[in-house]
Amino acid sequence: MLKDLGTPTTRSAFRSAGETPLRSAGTPRDVRRRRTVLVLVILACFTLIVLDARRSAGSPVEPLREAAAGVFGPLESTATSARQPVDNLRDRFAEMDRLKAENEKLKKDNEDLTRELTTSDYARNRAQELDKLLKVAPAYTMTPARVIGIGGAQAFSHTVTIDAGTADGVRTDMTVLNGTGLVGRVVRTTQGTATVLLIGDRNSTVGGRLNASMALGFVSGRGEVGGTLDYKLIDPKARPKVGDRIVTWGSSGNAPYVPGVPIGVVTSVTANEGSLGSTATVKPYVDPTRIDTVGVVTGPPARPPRTQITGKGN
Amino acid sequence: MIALRIGLAALFLMIAVTVQTSVLTNIAVAGVTCDLTLIVVIALALSRGSEWGAIAGFVGGLMLDIVPPADHTAGRWALSLAIAGYIAGLIRRETSGSPVGPLGVALTVVLGTAVSFFLYSATGSLLHDPSVDWGEFGVRLGIAAGYDVVGAIVVIPLVMWIMGRVQPARERRRVAP
């Protein structure tokens, strides 16, 4: 099809009889040159893809990425600081919706509180349990950072750029979290920026522990915009319940995930078709479209105090 | 003059990539952002022709591939935008008797969005990238095309006007008799 468009004969068929040729874009020499450019560009693209596709051997595109991050990191940082007017605009549009949603939420909260008042013992026990669990998680040394770039849904990947890099002690496979829960892990770093893979990405899998029963499982991203997650338990007989909370169970050496960070809450459970066990849908605590300030766990967590137990040994 | 044009084009592309990754994502519709880089590539192709479209698409796409937070195989956006830019340049040449009308520009943008998004997803599938989700393809393409047309209304006349200002005098005479 491209060939047809390029030949001068088809061109003249498009033109009416009285019209004079206005530019010499149709001469065979120009057509040849144009196609040469196209072929060269496509070849360059394929070369790049082939070179970068085998990641294991260390991609030659890596220095390019470093350079690009060096140039665009500060630019993105500046642009993010200058986005105040954009934010204001969005907020104004969102205000009505927000007020309505808040009203709904307050009504619901009111009902919940009334109900909770009647079942306060149960709730208090549960809160205590949660508190205990949170205390198990040691305190981490964190480096605060701001999100300066977000990938669009067109690229299918859920990644963000933060403005802290190797210069701030950020390395790959570090946990990233914010005040409400787990955000993701660092997959790529440069001098001044780092790329974070969000837990909602299809490439992401996190070990998650059910708060209620301490059962272990895996949380994987669905690639949806809202960041919805799937949760599969290791033990096929255990069943998660709606409303159960999930926290990370941590990886060996605390990389990429440190233990005890809240991930999300179970919203629905469906039985797996054709196999044992069930899959739960998890709503993450962190809204992936609204993350701004995050913390990167840079320091080794303070070791939880372990008192030695001495037995008589009878 | 040529150096000035190339410099301007590079500047446009850099601004587009920066704004697309850090500002426009905050006003994304259902997660889909406005493809500002694609719009600038199409504007350059419409004002300078297929060769410019292909090369500008390659450079702009390469920047999208390597600028953080990109985490996919480099070269995928470069290929998609280069071909979209080349096709946009061909459309311009077919109607070179008169400047491309607003409807023509809008259709070119929709076509460019479809071509680039399809190529990006297809290369992802070929490379076994698990994040590519063809079930979401149609919805995201629809939103992206609409959003891009809205962005193009502002950006394309601006870029084409500036590029027209730095055209050499003899060419301007030939285009506008």
What part of A 212-251 touches B (C-beta under 8 Å)?
223-225
Gap between the Cα atoms of A248 and A236, Å rounded: 19
Task: Show me where the domains of chain A are located.
Answer: 142-297
Asked whether A185 and A257 are in contact (CB, 8 A), the reply is yes
| pLDDT digits 0-9 by tens, B148-167 | 998 888 888 888 888 888 76
What is the architecture of the domain spanning A142-297?
Beta Barrel (2.40)
Q: What is the pLDDT of residue A302?
A: 54
- Confirm or reject contact between A41 and chain B (CB < 8 A): yes
Structure tokens of A245? 């909370």
Is pLDDT larger for residue B26 or for residue B60? B60
Is B177 domain-assigned?
no
Q: What is the pLDDT of residue A136?
A: 43
Our CA-based measurement puts residue A166 at a distance from the nearest CA of chain B, in whole angstroms, of 14
What is the percent of chain B with per-residue pLDDT over 70, rounded to a whole number?
89
Q: Which residues of A touch B20 (CB under 8 A)?
A: 152
Q: What is the pLDDT along chain A (314 residues), one digit of tens a residue?
A: 444 444 444 444 444 443 444 444 567 887 888 888 889 999 999 888 888 887 655 677 888 888 888 888 888 888 877 766 666 666 776 777 778 888 888 888 887 777 666 656 655 665 665 565 454 445 667 788 888 888 877 778 888 888 888 888 888 888 888 877 888 999 888 888 899 999 888 888 888 888 877 788 888 888 887 778 888 888 877 788 888 888 888 777 667 888 878 888 889 888 777 777 788 899 988 888 777 778 888 776 555 545 566 666 55
Residue B39 belongs to domain spanning: 2-170
- What does DSSP assign to residue A20? P
Model ipTM?
A: 0.80
Is B11 domain-assigned?
yes
Q: What is the pLDDT of residue B60?
A: 93
Q: What is the pLDDT of residue B85?
A: 92
Q: What is the pLDDT of residue B58?
A: 93
Q: What is the pLDDT of residue B38?
A: 93
Q: What is the pLDDT of residue B110?
A: 92
Confidence grade of residue B113 (pLDDT, cut at 50, 70, 90): very high
Q: Do B175 and A149 touch (CB under 8 A)?
A: no
Q: Do A52 and B73 touch (CB under 8 A)?
A: yes
CA angle A244, A128, A303 (to 5 degrees): 90
DSSP chain B: -HHHHHHHHHHHHHHHHHHHHHTGGGG-BTTBPP-HHHHHHHHHHHHH-HHHHHHHHHHHHHHHHHSTT--S-TTHHHHHHHHHHHHHHHHHHHTTTSPPPHHHHHHHHHHHHHHHHHHHHHHHHHTT-TT--HHHHHHHHHHHHHHHHHHHHHHHHHHHHHHHHTS-HHHHHHH--
Name the residue in chain A with its Cα closest to that of B78. Answer: A45
Look over chain B and give the mean of its residue pLDDT values, rounded to a whole number. 84
CATH code of the domain in which B131 resides:
1.10.1760.20
Which residues, other chains included, contact B115 with Cβ-Cβ below 8 Å and sequence gap of 6+?
A: B80, B83, B84, B87
Q: Do A161 and B21 touch (CB under 8 A)?
A: yes
Which of A69, A86, A223 lies at the smallest CB-CB distance from B68? A69
- Confirm or reject contact between A43 and chain B (CB < 8 A): no
Which residues, other chains included, contact A195 with Cβ-Cβ below 8 Å and sequence gap of 6+?
A: A159, A160, A161, A186, A187, A188, A189, B68, B69, B70, B71
Q: What is the pLDDT of residue A261?
A: 82
Confidence grade of residue B56 (pLDDT, cut at 50, 70, 90): very high
Our CA-based measurement puts residue B153 at a distance from the nearest CA of chain A, in whole angstroms, of 18
The total of structural domains in chain B comes to 1
Which of A45, A53, A202 lies at the smallest CB-CB distance from B82? A45
Confidence grade of residue B59 (pLDDT, cut at 50, 70, 90): very high
Gap between the Cα atoms of B47 and A209, Å rounded: 57
Which of A22, A44, A223 lies at the smallest CB-CB distance from B175? A22
Is B176 domain-assigned?
no
